Amino acid sequence: GFDDVYMTYHDVTVGDIQLGVSRDGGQTYVQNGPIINPADVPEPQWQAGVNSPPGPAGNGIGNIVARRPPGGSLTLYSIFVTPDSPQDNVNQGIAATGNFNRVYEAVGSVTDVPAPGAPVITWRNYEVYHGPLGARYDRIFPITTVDDSGRVYAIWTDGNHTYYKTDVTGTSWNPAAAPSQIPNPAGVNTTIMPWAAAGRSGIADVVFYGATGGTGAQPNPQDDPNNVWNVYMAQTIDGGSTWGVFKASDHTVHTGPICIDGLGCDLSTPTRDRTLLDFFQVSVDPTNGAADISYADDHAAPGSAVLYFTRQCTGASATTGSALVNDCVPPPPPIAPPQGSTCPGPQIVDFVNDAPNNYPGGSGQNMDNLDIQNAFFGSTPGSANIDVTLTAKDLEAPPTADNPNVLSGLWTVYWQQAGSANAPGGSTWWFAQATTSGTGRRAVAQFSDGTFDVSADAYSGRHTISGAFNPGPNGTFVMHVPRADVGGPADGATLTNPFADTAGAFLVAGTGLRFIARADRAPDSDYGADYHVGQTCAADLSVDKSGPSTGHVGQVITYTIAVHNGGGDPATGVTVTDSLPKNAGFGSASSSQGSCAPKPKQLLVVCNLGTVANGAGAIVTIVVKPTQKGNFTDTATVSATSPNDPNPSNDTSSVTTRVSP
């Protein structure tokens, strides 16, 4: 069945920490109740105002972990921080600060209930540490983890150091006892964003962002413009008595300040960034106990982060405690995504088999009918319509035998046009869309066009249009879009930033609720190639063959074939065929791009050169060794899959060589 999922989140109306519980693997949630028990922590100490400031400051949320020992009951553990007192809560709300100096562990005892019923959870809160007034321990975020023996680790940072305390059950802390520090790496004076995962008894991995270069000055060391940030990992194998600390990132991940104030981030004073806080996590690899670390990194484009992944190569395994066998190898270079072309198209091209069925009732199998292969535009000068075609791997109207849980689908192509209502740089796109009703031979397609607002994920200004539904392998929807519906693009107008996506609709069992979620996007990121309305594609290929006019039997003769594309568009599927005379004595064939191979009896050489760009060329070299005398005429021909060649007269070239004894 599905896994149970537990998620903590802030209810911003009062600032309490709510628990959402899913019994279906995270597809749907029910609110289970707050994890802060007012009997343990007085409400005025941690509740926030609706508008804070000037209301009370509230509390700082942490993560949640679950542990079920063999044969035992499930227990949940979470962590949070609060102001010093009810009055301090009010004072900090007025001052717009978040100096939460009291650390609590929330322990939830779970009474199991058969799914889909919600489990019964009883929460108690235990103070881990009562720090000095004014200390700030919510430097995004306090973190807890639990090892296999049930030892609980509470971890937080004050901005300069990462602190921790441990307890054998998580219920018997001494809040007056000072925490210990995880040693800072050399030169690091600022630490934020700890995250942790535990393994066998006494082993825990902690990762955090650490900065050098700044002064580390309180109250906001993370705001120093000279901070240079990296990712670090600390590991204990003795329950926290000692720690090893290592650098996990192989380059600087961010430079400058980082805002840690969540929804209250002021990104301008000083100029700050919160990009690194969007994603950071560590988990224990189940294969060998290594730490798997993922983190946000914006060093290449500040303010626009990408997700990085790294893996612990040496040190101790969190699952065995033994030294890891270093199995780390450099990752292979990413597969270059397929590229669309303006001429001849298709403008949008996508990987296949990238539409997994992760909807409720799916098992990750590919949804072939929602798996986009390509999409392209077509029009002729002066035509009333632009034809928009979307090709799917195996187009069928849902539900299908392979994916019965997907009840219906949407197939959509989007684009923008300068000078229209949906111009580049804005959040709106023109769209052409297909959907179906019925199944099998009774399936009927409906088509529409209009405007799509990416920021609101909403369609508007919809018009019904005509189209064609061609199901089956490599099946297509062809949508006839009136130019008047989409801004009236004239001949030569550029349709830019095109992309396509599909979506599937499904019901959530037992709720009667119908949801729609995206299935595939083409291309996977960025956009396809531009299209020029009314365009006519052409590529003038030519071939020029050269070689000696004389030769001798048994001696090598080399022929050179020069291919050139005189434009105006790229030529795709370019092939050179060279007809060798009998007794030419084929030796070898090579090309500057693509590959060459002799055909049966070695009287024909075929070279597949791929795409030749406008203005570019390629060279084919053929070597022969004649076996008898005579006049040998060697002819080469060039052709392309597309587009049309407006001048076929220069597609053939011959050389005659007189071969003497």
Task: Give 55-102 pLDDT, tens digit per residue.
Answer: 898 999 999 999 999 989 999 999 999 999 999 999 998 988 889 999
**pLDDT at residue 511 tops 60:** no
pLDDT band at 261 (very low <50, low <70, confident <90, very high): confident
Please give the structure tokens belonging to residue 16.
Answer: 């309490």
Considering the segment(s) 5-311 as one domain, its CATH architecture is 6 Propeller (2.120)
d(CA 369, CA 477): 11
Least confident piece of the model among 11-15, 113-117, 404-408, 569-573:
11-15
pLDDT band at 52 (very low <50, low <70, confident <90, very high): low
Residues belonging to the chain: 661
Residue 422 has what pLDDT? 97
Task: Give 405-459 pLDDT, tens digit per residue.
Answer: 899 999 999 999 999 999 999 999 999 999 999 887 789 999 999 999 998 889 9
Residue 429 backbone zone (phi > 0: left; psi -120 to 50: alpha; other: beta): beta
Please give the structure tokens belonging to residue 83.
Answer: 């102001």
> Can you give the residue ranges of every domain in the chain?
5-311, 348-532, 539-660
Mean predicted confidence (pLDDT) in 152-168: 98
Going by C-alpha positions, the residue among 299, 351, 357, 344 that lies closest to residue 505 is: 357
Distances (CA, A) of 30 to 26, 262, 311, 327: 10, 25, 35, 42
Query: Domain 539-660 class?
Result: mainly beta
**pLDDT at residue 151 tops 70:** yes
Helix (H, G, I), strand (E, B) or coil at 241: coil
d(CA 377, CA 347): 7
Q: Is the pTM of this model over 0.75?
A: no
Going by C-alpha positions, the residue among 392, 368, 351 that lies closest to residue 476 is: 392
Mean predicted confidence (pLDDT) in 340-347: 92
Going by C-alpha positions, the residue among 465, 635, 640, 474 that lies closest to residue 565 is: 640
- The residue assigned the tokens 């720690």 is 243
d(CA 381, CA 358): 44
Bridge partners (DSSP) listed for residue 309: 294
